[in-house]
Amino acid sequence: MQQEFETQILDINPEKIAEKLRLLGAEEEPEVMQKRWVFDIEPCTAKGTGKWIRLRQMGDKKTTLTFKNRSGRGICDTRELETEVSDFEKTARILSEAPFEGRYYQENKRHLFILNDIEFTIDTWPKIPPYLEIEAGSEKKVQEGLKMLGLEGKDSGHIGSVAIYNKYGFDLHSFKELKF
């Protein structure tokens, strides 16, 4: 399994972040609508641990199936195994036949910028303010991304969607469907 290195920064001004990334010369991709099914194997705990399978379609680009295993909320506490699949709906039907702890359909919008092998994404989800996610091939690169934007010390670690929704007073898993 591959180690994932990422952090989230909450309570951002998305326009200011996007403008700063443009000024730094980041490659910008158009914002895309993402849809996903999340199938809990071991639901996330208050400490940020858990295991789940995510089926995600990113706009009209590609669909991936990912196993995630989170051991905590640090920048490097998530491991994942991912593969591309050809049919979002059919794969969702297959997975729906398995006895998972929970099944959740979710939508969000993602605006991606890439600079120095670091991915900066502005994520917009229903019911909560947009946030920034910084992902790279190492913890050092994630820290570099924070520094580029002047956000050192403002990151939350890899807290994930469940904890982000909790911060704003929502139980993400109370929404079996989360759409715009």
Determine the pLDDT at residue 171. 92
Determine the pLDDT at residue 153. 85
CB 106 within 8 A of CB 123: no
Q: How far apart are CA 38 and CA 151, in angstroms?
A: 30
Say how many domains are in the chain: 1
Could you write out the three-class secondary structure of the chain?
Answer: CEEEEEEEECCCCHHHHHHHHHHCCCEECCCEEEEEEEEEEECCCCCCCEEEEEEEEECCCEEEEEEEEECCCCCCCEEEEEEEECCHHHHHHHHHCCCCCEEEEEEEEEEEEEECCEEEEEEECCCCCCEEEEEECCHHHHHHHHHHCCCCCCCCCCCHHHHHHHHCCCCHHHCCEECC
CB 57 within 8 A of CB 124: no
Quote the domain boundaries for residue 172: 2-178
Q: How far apart are CA 30 and CA 22, in angstroms?
A: 13
**CATH number reported for the structural domain that contains residue 136 in this entry:** 2.40.320.10
pLDDT in tens, the chain (180 residues): 888 899 999 999 999 999 999 999 999 999 999 999 999 999 887 788 899 999 999 998 899 999 999 998 888 889 999 999 999 999 999 999 999 888 999 999 999 999 999 999 999 999 999 999 999 999 999 999 999 999 998 877 778 888 899 999 999 989 999 999
Apex CA 177: angle with CA 175 and CA 180, to 5°? 105
